[in-house]
C-alpha cells in the first residue's frame, strides 16, 4: 500500500474535520450536515480517488478503523456515523495486549472479541475483512524477510467479497486464526453461510463495523482532531 496515498486521504479528512467539527454527545450519520454539509461527500471522493491510484488504500483504512477502535472498501458501501475524535494516548504495547493474534485458536478469538462486546457471530463476520489487503510473511511463517508480503485473498485481493470464506473452506486460510473458524461447529456453519450468501455477510459486516466504531468513543471536548494522524497535537 502506498503510504503517500493514504497520507493524502488522511490530510483531507483532517482538514475537513478541523473546518467542520461539531460538538455532540454521540456519533451519528450526517454528523456534519449543518456545519459542513459536503464533508462526507468530500471524504468519500478523496477515498475513491486514493483507491483508484492505489488499491491498498481500502485495506489500510479498514485496518486503521479496526486498530483504532479495537485497541483504545471496495465492493459495497454503508453509512458511517461520524464525530469520533482522536485520543491523546497511543502505545504500541496496547496493540499487543488487545488485538487478536494470527496464531489464536477459536477460544482465544472468541474471548478476544467478547472482551470488546462482540458475539462469536460478529467475530466470524469481522474476520471477513481478511478478504482484502496483504500480510507480512512473518505473521504466519519463519520468513527471514520482514518486508516480504503476500495477499490475504489471492484470487481477489482488492475486492470486498466472500472469497475469504471460500479460501477457509478450501483450507487456504492464511493465518492459523483463519482456519480456526472451522474447528467449532457454530463458527464453521457461519463460514459456510457466508460463502454461499454474499449479501448476508455484507449486511452483517456493515453492522459489525458500525458497532466497532462505537467502542471507546471520544466526543465533544474529549480527545482531539490530529493535524498529523501519526502523532498527538503539540
Task: Please identify every residue annotated as catalytic.
Answer: 67
What value, to the nearest 5°, has the Cα angle with vertex 209 and ends 203 and 211? 105
Helix (H) or strand (E) holding 166: helix 163-169
Which residue ranges are tagged as binding site? Answer: 100, 130-131, 161
Which residue ranges are tagged as binding site for Ca(2+)? Answer: 131, 161
Biggest distance spanned by C-alpha atoms of the chain: 53
Nearest to 13 by CA among 160, 36, 70, 27: 36
CA distance 141 to 152: 14
The answer to whether 134 and 152 have CB atoms below 8 angstroms apart is yes
Nearest to 186 by CA among 121, 125, 100: 121
Which residue ranges are tagged as binding site for substrate? Answer: 100
Q: Residue 132 burial (CB < 10 Å; 0-12/13-18/19+)?
A: buried
> What secondary structure does DSSP assign to 138-173, as a single string?
GGTS--S-TT-EEESSTTSTTS-STHHHHHHHTT--
Q: Residue 147 burial (CB < 10 Å; 0-12/13-18/19+)?
A: exposed
CA distance 136 to 1: 12
Amino acid at each position: 500500500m502506498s503510504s503517500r496515498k493514504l497520507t493524502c486521504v488522511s490530510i483531507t479528512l483532517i482538514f475537513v474535520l478541523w473546518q467542520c467539527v461539531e460538538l455532540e454527545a454521540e456519533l451519528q450519520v450526517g454528523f456534519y450536515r449543518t456545519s459542513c454539509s459536503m464533508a462526507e461527500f468530500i471524504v468519500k471522493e478523496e477515498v475513491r480517488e486514493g483507491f483508484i491510484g492505489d488499491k491498498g488504500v481500502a485495506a489500510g483504512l479498514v485496518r486503521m478503523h479496526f486498530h483504532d477502535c479495537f485497541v483504545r472498501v471496495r465492493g459495497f458501501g454503508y453509512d458511517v456515523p461520524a464525530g469520533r475524535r482522536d485520543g491523546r494516548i497511543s502505545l504500541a504495547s496496547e496493540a499487543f495486549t488487545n488485538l487478536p493474534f494470527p496464531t489464536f485458536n477459536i477460544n482465544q478469538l472468541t474471548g478476544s472479541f467478547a472482551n470488546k462486546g462482540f458475539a462469536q457471530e460478529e467475530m466470524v463476520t469481522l474476520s471477513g475483512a481478511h478478504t482484502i489487503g496483504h500480510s507480512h510473511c512473518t505473521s504466519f511463517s519463519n520468513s527471514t524477510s520482514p518486508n516480504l508480503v503476500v495477499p490475504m485473498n489471492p484470487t481477489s485481493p482488492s475486492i470486498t467479497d466472500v472469497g475469504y470464506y471460500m479460501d477457509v473452506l478450501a483450507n487456504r486460510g492464511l493465518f492459523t486464526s483463519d482456519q480456526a473458524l472451522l474447528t467449532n461447529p457454530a463458527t464453521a456453519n457461519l463460514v459456510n453461510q457466508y460463502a454461499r450468501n454474499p449479501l448476508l455477510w455484507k449486511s452483517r459486516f456493515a453492522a459489525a463495523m458500525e458497532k466497532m466504531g462505537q467502542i471507546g468513543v471520544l466526543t465533544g471536548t474529549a480527545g482531539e482532531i490530529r493535524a498529523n494522524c501519526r502523532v498527538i497535537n503539540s
